[in-house]
Amino acid sequence: MIIIGIDPGTSTGFAAMDTAIKTKDKLITVKTLTSDKNGLAFWKCIDAVAVVKMSAKGSGDKIVVYIENPNQNVTYVKAGDGTSGKREKISRNVGMNQKEAQLLIEGVERLGVDVKTLVPNSQKWSADLFKRYTGYSKQTSQHARDAVRLIWGR
């Protein structure tokens, strides 16, 4: 089975893993998708799921996508974010992230791929902890590590 983790946002974390591989080398893809002149992160993410689906089609592997869905949880506020301007910015960012997650859920379902949503986790993996758990040695962003965290151990 191929499982994909997506951490939606302005910079979207994307990771794919082959659960049939029993070693730490099971991560197929770990990347951060960003909006640029070549397109929006949202469409790059939908395209990446479609590519994994196409490559798995010949092998008969089932694909499941886990998407972090902030619609299911409260906003995490950091210490020092007490001013109304900061809270308003956080609220706008959360609203944008919620919409992005909802669109990704619907977009992946339209591709005919099973989707499971997960509540955001406030605990993050540092680069060192990520490398220790996964054995993945290439440079990663926090968004990419969050995407892997959604699927690691499943």
Q: What tens digit of pLDDT does each residue of 55-65 get?
A: 888 777 899 99
Strand order in the sheet with 27-34: 27-34, 11-18, 2-7, 63-68, 114-118
Give me the pLDDT at residue 79, please: 64
99 membership: H or E segment, kind and range: helix 84-110
Q: Which domain holds residue 104?
A: 2-151
Of residues 153 and 50, which shows the higher confidence score? 50
In contact, 17 and 151? CB cutoff 8 Å: yes
pTM: 0.88
- Chain Cα centroid distance, residue 83: 30
**What does the pLDDT average to over 14-19?**
96
Of residues 56 and 76, which shows the higher confidence score? 56
Distance CA 64, CA 2 (A): 7
Q: Which of 24, 31, 23 is nearest to 143 (CA)?
A: 31
**Tally of structural domains, the chain:** 1
pLDDT at 74 over 70: no
86-141: pLDDT as tens digits: 767 766 777 778 889 999 999 999 999 999 999 888 789 999 999 999 999 999 99
44-55: pLDDT as tens digits: 999 999 999 998
Beta strands in 1-152 (DSSP E): 2-7, 11-18, 27-34, 63-68, 114-118
Give me the pLDDT at residue 61, please: 84
Distance CA 116, CA 108 (A): 10
| Per-residue pLDDT band at 72 (split at 50, 70, 90) | low
Residue 109: which CATH number? Answer: 3.30.420
- Chain Cα centroid distance, residue 131: 17
Give me the pLDDT at residue 6, please: 98
pLDDT at 71 over 70: yes
Beta strands in the chain (DSSP E): 2-7, 11-18, 27-34, 63-68, 114-118
